[in-house]
Amino acid sequence: MAKNLELVFNKIDELANAVAPDFNIINDRLAPAIKITSISSDNTNEGRKHVYAMTDFLETQLKELNASVSRHKLGKQPDTDILLPDVIVANYPETYDKNKKTVLIYGHYDVQPPGDGWATDPWTLQEKDGKLYGRGATDDKGPVLAWLNALQAYQAAKVDVPVNLIFCFEGMEESGSIGFAAFVKDNQALFQHVDAACISDNYWLTTRKPCLTYGLRGINYFKLTIEHPGIQLHSGMFGGCIYEPMTDLVILLSKLVDSQGRILIPGINELVEDVSEAEIEEYATIEFTTQDFQNTIGSEANIYDDPKDTLMHRFRYPSLTIHGITGADPSPDQTTAIYPKVTAKFSIRTVPDMQGDAVTDLTIHYIEEEFRKLQSKNTCHVELFGESAPYWLGKKDDDNFTAGKAATQKVYNTEPDLTREGGSIGVTLDLQNALGDKSIMLLPVGMSDDGAHGPNEKINKENYVKGSKLLGAYWWYFANPEPKYGH
Amino acid sequence: MAKNLELVFNKIDELANAVAPDFNIINDRLAPAIKITSISSDNTNEGRKHVYAMTDFLETQLKELNASVSRHKLGKQPDTDILLPDVIVANYPETYDKNKKTVLIYGHYDVQPPGDGWATDPWTLQEKDGKLYGRGATDDKGPVLAWLNALQAYQAAKVDVPVNLIFCFEGMEESGSIGFAAFVKDNQALFQHVDAACISDNYWLTTRKPCLTYGLRGINYFKLTIEHPGIQLHSGMFGGCIYEPMTDLVILLSKLVDSQGRILIPGINELVEDVSEAEIEEYATIEFTTQDFQNTIGSEANIYDDPKDTLMHRFRYPSLTIHGITGADPSPDQTTAIYPKVTAKFSIRTVPDMQGDAVTDLTIHYIEEEFRKLQSKNTCHVELFGESAPYWLGKKDDDNFTAGKAATQKVYNTEPDLTREGGSIGVTLDLQNALGDKSIMLLPVGMSDDGAHGPNEKINKENYVKGSKLLGAYWWYFANPEPKYGH
Domains for chain A: give ranges and CATH numbers.
1-216+391-479 (3.40.630.10), 219-272+317-389 (3.30.70.360)
B389 touches chain A (CB under 8 A): no
Type and span of the H or E element at B410: helix B399-412
Q: Which residue of B has its CA nearest to A297?
A: B230
Q: Are A472 and A8 in contact (CB under 8 A)?
A: yes
How far, CA to CA in Å, does A289 sit from each of A414, A446, B288? 18, 19, 67
Residues of chain A in contact with residue B297, where contact means CB-CB under 8 angstroms, are 228, 230-231, 233, 238, 242
pLDDT value of position B485: 45
Out of A86, A173, A227, A370, the active site residue is A173
Closest alpha carbon to B170 in B161, B162, B179: B179
B240 touches chain A (CB under 8 A): yes
Cβ neighbors of A61 (< 8 A, separation 6 or more) are A29, A145, A148
Residues 281-300 of A with CB under 8 A from B: 293, 297-300
Q: Are B29 and B148 in contact (CB under 8 A)?
A: yes
The predicted complex's ipTM stands at: 0.91
Q: Are B234 and A423 in contact (CB under 8 A)?
A: yes
pLDDT value of position B229: 85
Q: Are A326 and B332 in contact (CB under 8 A)?
A: yes
B117 touches chain A (CB under 8 A): no
Check A235 against B319: CB less than 8 A apart.
Answer: yes
**pLDDT tens figures, A120-134:** 999 999 999 999 999
B244 touches chain A (CB under 8 A): yes
Q: Please state, in angstroms and rounded to a whole number, the distance separating the CA atoms of residues A409 and A402.
A: 10
Q: Are B318 and B217 in contact (CB under 8 A)?
A: yes
Q: Please state, in angstroms and rounded to a whole number, the distance separating the CA atoms of residues B126 and B134.
A: 7
**pLDDT tens figures, A328-372:** 999 998 888 999 999 999 999 999 999 999 999 999 999 999 999
Q: Phi-psi bin for B130: left (phi > 0), alpha (psi -120 to 50), beta?
A: left
Percent of chain A with pLDDT over 70: 99
Residue pairs spanning A and B at CB distance below 8 A = 285
Q: Are B49 and B144 in contact (CB under 8 A)?
A: no
pLDDT value of position B1: 57
Check A385 against B248: CB less than 8 A apart.
Answer: no
Q: Is the pLDDT of residue A428 over 60?
A: yes
Closest alpha carbon to B105 in B136, B150, B40: B150
Residue from A112, A235, A419 whose CB has the most chain B CBs within 10 Å, to mutate:
A235
Closest alpha carbon to A311 in A199, A448, A143: A448
Closest alpha carbon to A449 in A94, A231, A220, A131: A131
Residues 151-180 of A with CB under 8 A from B: none
Position B330, amino acid: P
Residues 410-469 of A with CB under 8 A from B: 421-424
Comparing A374 with B387, the larger pLDDT belongs to: A374
Residues of chain B in contact with residue A235, where contact means CB-CB under 8 angstroms, are 319, 321, 323, 347, 349, 423
pTM of the model: 0.90
pLDDT value of position B246: 98
**pLDDT tens figures, B189-248:** 999 999 999 999 999 999 999 999 999 999 999 999 999 988 889 999 999 999 999 999
**pLDDT tens figures, B316-343:** 999 999 999 999 999 998 888 999 999 9
Q: Within a 13 Å sphere around the CA of B161, how many CA atoms are in the beta-carbon half?
A: 31
For residues A83-88, give the mean pLDDT.
Answer: 98
B332 touches chain A (CB under 8 A): yes
Residue from A206, A248, A250, A292 whose CB has the most chain B CBs within 10 Å, to mutate:
A250
What is the least distance, in Å, from the CA of B134 to any CA of chain A?
21
Backbone φ and ψ for B370, nearest 5 degrees, come out as -65, -35
**pLDDT tens figures, A463-473:** 999 999 999 99
Residue from B334, B374, B420, B428 whose CB has the most chain A CBs within 10 Å, to mutate:
B334
Closest alpha carbon to A347 in A399, A371, A382, A313: A382
Average model confidence (pLDDT) across chain B: 95
Residues of chain A in contact with residue B390, where contact means CB-CB under 8 angstroms, are none
Least confident range from A51-55, A79-83, A161-165, B209-213: namely: A79-83
For residue A212, the cross-strand partners are A418
Burial zone of A22 (CB within 10 Å; 0-12 exposed, 13-18 middle, 19+ buried): exposed
For residues A77-98, give the mean pLDDT.
Answer: 96
Q: Are A444 and A140 in contact (CB under 8 A)?
A: no
Closest alpha carbon to B251 in A205, A372, A255, A58: A255
Q: Is the pLDDT of residue A172 over 70?
A: yes
Residues 53-92 of B with CB under 8 A from A: none
Q: Is the pLDDT of residue B183 over 70?
A: yes
Torsion of CA A433, A193, A440, A352, to 10 degrees: 40
Q: How many CB atoms lie within 10 A of CB A112?
A: 19
**A110 classed as catalytic:** yes
Q: Is the pLDDT of residue B145 over 80?
A: yes
Q: Please state, in angstroms and rounded to a whole number, the distance separating the CA atoms of residues A33 and A12.
A: 18
Q: Please state, in angstroms and rounded to a whole number, the distance separating the CA atoms of residues B401 and B393.
A: 13
Out of A42, A59, A86, A110, the active site residue is A110
Q: Please state, in angstroms and rounded to a whole number, the distance separating the CA atoms of residues B89 and A148.
A: 84
Q: Are B342 and B225 in contact (CB under 8 A)?
A: yes
Cβ neighbors of B215 (< 8 A, separation 6 or more) are B315, B316, B352, B391, B392, B393, B394, B420, B421
Closest by Cβ to A334, choosing from B298, B318, B386: B386
Check B301 against A243: CB less than 8 A apart.
Answer: yes
**DSSP designation for B52:** H
**A173 classed as catalytic:** yes
Q: Which residue of A has its CA nearest to B420?
A: A237
Q: Is the pLDDT of residue A427 over 60?
A: yes
Out of B59, B173, B292, B450, the active site residue is B173
For residues A395-415, give the mean pLDDT.
Answer: 97
pLDDT confidence of A229, banded at 50, 70, 90?
A: confident
Q: Please give the full DSSP string across B242-280, using - where no structure is assigned.
A: B--HHHHHHHHHHTTB-TT--B-STTTGGGSPPPPHHHH
3-state helix, strand and coil shares in percent for chain A, rounded to the nearest 5:
35, 20, 40
Q: Please state, in angstroms and rounded to a whole number, the distance separating the CA atoms of residues A398 and A395.
A: 6
pLDDT value of position B450: 94
Q: Please state, in angstroms and rounded to a whole number, the distance separating the CA atoms of residues B252 and A332.
A: 19
What is the least distance, in Å, from the CA of A379 to any CA of chain B?
10
Q: Is the pLDDT of residue B484 over 60?
A: no
Burial zone of A389 (CB within 10 Å; 0-12 exposed, 13-18 middle, 19+ buried): buried
What is the least distance, in Å, from the CA of B111 to any CA of chain A?
18
Average model confidence (pLDDT) across chain A: 95
Burial zone of B349 (CB within 10 Å; 0-12 exposed, 13-18 middle, 19+ buried): buried
Q: Please state, in angstroms and rounded to a whole number, the distance separating the CA atoms of residues B59 and B180.
A: 18
Q: Is the pLDDT of residue B440 over 70?
A: yes
Closest alpha carbon to A323 in B370, B379, B239, B374: B239
Geometric angle at alpha carbon B247, from A216 and A218, rounded to 5°: 15
Over its C-alpha atoms, chain B yields an Rg (Å, rounded) of 25
Residues of chain A in contact with residue B261, where contact means CB-CB under 8 angstroms, are 239-244, 247
For residues A412-418, give the mean pLDDT.
Answer: 97
Least confident range from A79-88, A229-238, B78-87: namely: A229-238
pLDDT confidence of A485, banded at 50, 70, 90?
A: very low
Query: Per the omega criterion (within 30 degrees of 0), is the bond before B78 cis?
Result: no
Q: Are B122 and B460 in contact (CB under 8 A)?
A: no
Residues of chain A in contact with residue B241, where contact means CB-CB under 8 angstroms, are 261, 293, 302-304, 310, 313-314, 319, 422
Task: State the alpha helices, DSSP H only, in A94-179.
Answer: 141-156
Cβ neighbors of A257 (< 8 A, separation 6 or more) are A263, A264, A319, A320, A322, B247
